[in-house]
């Protein structure tokens, strides 16, 4: 569980199964590719921002649950969008 009230950027890795749970009013920006993470994302409060290249960042996530928060999918710079 990640509980923070201010904006934070995380460039580390998530691996394996399980859940990444976001609570607190702040924005968590995840900027690293996490193809080895096959668990779920849960946003209880605040926002998770997957930037840049959203699809590559969490290509194998099993589920996304939005309870009272926001998931921002930022495709800036992503090669996944056909031109």
Predicted confidence (pLDDT) per residue in 10-61, tens digit: 989 999 999 999 999 999 998 888 889 999 999 999 999 887 665 567 888 8
- pLDDT given at position 2: 92
- pLDDT given at position 62: 92
User: What is the DSSP-derived secondary structure letter of residue 51?
Assistant: -
Regarding beta strands 47-50 and 70-73, do their DSSP bridges make them parallel or antiparallel, or are they unpaired? parallel
54: left (phi over 0), alpha (psi -120 to 50) or beta: alpha
Residue 79 has pLDDT above 60, yes or no: no
**Does residue 54 contact residue 75 with C-beta atoms inside 8 Å?**
yes
Distance from chain centroid for Cα 43 = 9
- pLDDT given at position 77: 54
In sequence order, the 6+-apart residues with CB closer than 8 A to the CB of 34 are 13, 14, 15, 57, 58
- pLDDT given at position 50: 83
- β strands within 1-83, DSSP E: 2-3, 8-10, 19-23, 27-30, 40-43, 47-50, 63-66, 70-73
- pLDDT given at position 83: 42
- pLDDT given at position 76: 62
- pLDDT given at position 34: 87
């Amino acid at each position: 569980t990640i509980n923070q009230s201010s904006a934070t950027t995380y460039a580390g890795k998530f691996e394996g199964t399980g859940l990444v749970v976001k609570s607190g009013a702040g924005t968590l920006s995840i900027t690293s590719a996490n193809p080895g993470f096959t668990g779920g994302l849960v946003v209880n409060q605040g926002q998770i921002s997957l930037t840049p290249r959203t699809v590559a960042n969490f290509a194998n996530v099993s589920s996304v649950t939005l309870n009272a928060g926001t998931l921002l999918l930022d495709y800036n710079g992503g090669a996944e969008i056909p031109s």
